[in-house]
A and B are shown apart, each in its own frame.
Chain A
C-alpha cells in the first residue's frame, strides 16, 4: 500500500470520528443570488462552494458555428480558501483540470438536444476547501442548473472514496485524509441509471479492490442524490407556496 498513515483507528473510526461509510454533514440552498439565472450554495463538512449559472443564451463569437450546446465552466478557488494562502484564484493547473472535468461530467447530464446553438455558463467558486473540492463543486453546479431550470437527464452527483490500509473502503474523503497519502477515487454518476460520467483515481490499490471502492463511491452518490432531491423539493415548496401550486404534487 502506498499509504503510510492508518486512516482507520482500531475502533473502526476515522480521523474526524466518522464511520467508514459515513458522509460529512451536507447543507445546501438553492437560489442564493438574484442576478444569475440559477445559483446554489453547498456545504459538505468544511468544504463550501457557491455555484452560479447564466443561460442558456446565444453563444458568443466563433462558437455559434456549432449546432450543439456549449457548456462553459469556470472553477475558481478563493485565495483564502486553503490553509496556505493561494496566490491566484484561478488559472492554475488544478483549476483548469477541474474546469475540464466539470464540463465533461455536466455535458453528460444536460439534455443538449434541447439547447441547440446556445451557451450555458456555469461558474463555481470554492470559498473553503477541505477535501473533495471537485465533488462538492459538481454537486453545487447540479443544484444551480436545477435552479436555473435547465433540463437534465438526471441529477449528476459526485462522491469520493478511498481505501484504508486494512482494505476497508471509506466514503467522502476529507482534506486531511487526502494528504495522508491514501488512494483517492472520484466518481461522478447518474445514480438512478447507474451510469458513471466521470471517474478519476490517484495513488494505487490492487485491482481486486477497485470494484468495492467504486461501489462505495456510488453508494455515496446515491445518498447525496437523496439529500439534493430533498433540498430541491424543499426549495420548490418554499418558492411555490406563494403561488399555491407546491402542495399539488
Chain B
C-alpha cells in the first residue's frame, strides 16, 4: 500500500474528527468522496470503465475469450480477475512491488463473485459442457488515494455493464460436433445482467468508530477494516463475502455493526451506480458526448 507519513499530531487530529463525525474533508462517517465514472474508453476491450474516486484512479478493461467449461460446472462460464498496480501510482509498485496488494484485491473480488447467486455464470454459457465465454476482468490501478477495494469493485461492475458479447449461433456438423458462428456485426451483441453483481464496501475502524470510504491518510490511522461484499437481490442487500484487513482485531459486536453499516451503504451505492449506468446507457447517438478519458 502506498505509504503516507503522518505525525502523531496529525493522527490525533484525524481521530478527533472521526469522533465528532466531521472528517478532515468535511464528510460525515457515512459519506463517500466525489466520484467520476466513464465507460467505453478502451476500444480494444469488449468493455471498459474508468473510475476516479477523489485521488484513486482505476481503469478496467474486459476481454472475452471462448473456453471449455469446467467439467464440474458444465453450465457455467468463467471469470478471471487480474489486478495490475501500475508504477504510475507510486514508485513502490515498480517491477513486482505491487503484487501483494494486487493479489489481495484479486482474492477479495474472487470471493465476492464466487456465489452463482452473486454473479449469474449461466449467462456466459454457450453450449453446456462444451463451450462458454471466459471474461478477463483486467484492473489497472493508476493512482492510490485510499479505499481501493470499493473503487475497484465499482469500476469492475461498470465495466461488466459496458461489456458487449457478440451474438453466437451454433450449427450442428457431422458426428455431433458443433461449430460456433460469431456474428460479424459489431452491434449484434448481448449484454451481461449486472443486477446482482456485488460491490465491496470497506468499513474502516478508527478509534471507537466505524466509517466508510477512508482516504489514504485515514487508512494509516486505522487498525483494522472489514471488507463487506454486498450483492443485491430483489431489492434486498445480501452478503456475498467478507474479510478483515489490517493488523488489528475487533470485538464481535463491533463486527456486527460494521457488517450492518456495510450492507446499508452497499445498498445505497448500488442504487446510485445502477442509476448512473442507466443514464449512460440512454445517451446514444448524437446525445452521446465524446469520450473524455484522461483529457479532462
Where the two chains meet, the residues of A that have a C-beta atom closer than 8 Å to any C-beta of B are: 27, 29, 32-36, 39, 41, 43, 46, 48, 50-52, 54, 72, 74, 76, 78-83, 85, 89-91, 121, 123, 125, 127-130
Contacts and interface: CB of A to CB of B under 8 A. Distances in A.
B25 interface: no
Interface stretch (B136-144, B201-209, B238-246): B136-144
B86 A82 contact: no
Given A33-B143, A83-B44, A43 B295 contact: yes
A38 to B, nearest CB: 11
Interface string B79-102: 000101011111100110000000
B160 interface: no
Q: Which of B57, B94, B294 has the most CB of A within 10 A?
A: B294
Nearest to B94: A74
Nearest to B61: A80
Contact of B144 (A35, A50, A76, A121): A35
B42 interface: yes
Contacts of B88: 33, 36, 39, 50-52, 123, 125
Contacts of B136: 79-80, 85
Given A33-B88, A35-B143, A121 B94 contact: yes
B143 A34 contact: yes
A224 to B, nearest CB: 17
A82 B44 contact: yes
Interface in B33-70: 42-45, 48, 55, 57, 59, 61-63, 65
Contacts of B63: 79-80, 85
A128 B48 CA distance: 12
Given A33-B143, A41-B294, A85-B63, A80 B94 contact: no
Nearest to A121: B91
Given A35-B144, A79-B136, A89 B295 contact: no
26 contacts: A33-B88, A35-B55, A35-B89, A41-B293, A41-B294, A41-B295, A46-B43, A50-B88, A52-B87, A54-B91, A76-B87, A78-B61, A79-B136, A79-B138, A80-B42, A80-B138, A81-B44, A81-B61, A82-B44, A85-B65, A85-B138, A123-B88, A125-B86, A127-B59, A127-B140, A129-B44
Give the 6 A-B residue pairs with the shortest CB-CB distance, closest first: A80-B61, A41-B294, A52-B88, A123-B87, A80-B45, A79-B138
B201 to A, nearest CB: 24
A125 B44 contact: no
A58 to B, nearest CB: 12
B57 A80 contact: no
A35 B86 contact: no
A33 B57 contact: yes
A123 B61 contact: no
A46 B143 CA distance: 23
B294 A50 contact: yes
Contact of A50 (B44, B84, B138, B142): B142
B143 A127 contact: no
B55 A78 contact: no
Given A27-B295, A123-B94, A74 B140 contact: no
Contacts of B43: 46, 128
Contacts of A121: 87, 91, 94
B287 to A, nearest CB: 22
A145 to B, nearest CB: 14
Interface in B1-44: 2, 42-44
Nearest to A129: B44
Given A51-B88, A79-B61, A125-B88, 11 more contacts: A35-B144, A35-B145, A41-B295, A43-B293, A52-B87, A72-B94, A74-B87, A79-B136, A121-B87, A123-B86, A129-B44
A242 to B, nearest CB: 18
Contacts of A36: 88
Nearest to A35: B143
A91 B95 CA distance: 8
B295 A78 contact: no
A33 B142 contact: yes
A27 B140 CA distance: 22
A34 B55 CA distance: 8
Contacts of B144: 35
A132 to B, nearest CB: 15
